[in-house]
Amino acid sequence: MSNAPHFDIDVPAFWADPYPALAKMRREAPIAFVPQLGSTVFTRRDDIFSQEKRTDVFSSHQPAGLMNTLMGHNMMRKRRRCAHVGARGDVSVRLAAHRARHLEQGVCGPCDRILEELAPTGRADLCKAFALPPVAECLKDITGLTNMRFEDMDAWSQAMIDGIANYTGNKEVEARCHAATAGIDAAIDDMVPVVTKASEHVDPQRAARRRPADGQRARQRQARDLRRPERAA
């Protein structure tokens, strides 16, 4: 149990507008245990900035945490840990500069089309009507889950965000999160044979030329991580 001062909140009011309660916390108990959340809350920027680096105390490894129980093990790991070099390499391929240029090309067309459709209406919710579709389409491309609708990507992303913030244990929120992860798992299962078939058509000579280079880069990254002095994440 936390030995920080206790600070009670009204959960519905906090959900609707947390800032008055947070301002009061900053004044009266900048580090406080909130029973309704079952958590100790840091409310001052400098405290957060200094304390988040203490990974021996505030570790991202939380087997009983909401993210782990709802979505699986997270990828927030220190760079020096070689066990995660391969996983980071898999992700970085999707975020490389040439991929960003590809995404930019794929976004411009839909953005122009959406603006043309919105122009006659005279008004619109720009976040929902304009920003959401191309962003969701980019996320589909980055993850490789091109078999889902952008509406699904948006809804499932939001359901997972809500799920890992569900400190009050709302069963409906938890159920939506589970439904979202099940939908993503199904989308992944559907795409596995598609990606596998596509990889079989890669030029074998080109693949052979690239494989040693990719492996060498991975080994170089691993060696660099081993040499890197101990430091906070």
pLDDT in tens, 86-106: 666 666 666 666 666 666 666
Instruction: Please tell me the predicted confidence (pLDDT) of residue 76.
Output: 58
pLDDT for residue 225 is more than 90:
no
Report how far residue 66's alpha carbon sits from residue 184's, in angstroms, rounded to the nearest whole number: 18
Report how far residue 182's alpha carbon sits from residue 49's, in angstroms, rounded to the nearest whole number: 35
Other C-beta atoms lying within 10 Å of the C-beta of residue 71: 17
Domain ranges of the chain: 97-143
Identify which of 163, 182, 178, 174 has the alpha carbon closest to the alpha carbon of residue 67: 163
pLDDT for residue 231 is more than 60:
no
From the number of C-beta atoms within 10 Å of its C-beta (0-12, 13-18, 19+), residue 25 rates as buried
Report how far residue 230's alpha carbon sits from residue 115's, in angstroms, rounded to the nearest whole number: 49
> 23 pLDDT band (50/70/90 cuts)?
very high
- CA distances in angstroms from 85 to 88, 206, 214, 225, listed in the order given: 5, 24, 13, 9
Q: The whole model's pTM is what?
A: 0.65
What rounded mean pLDDT belongs to the chain? 78
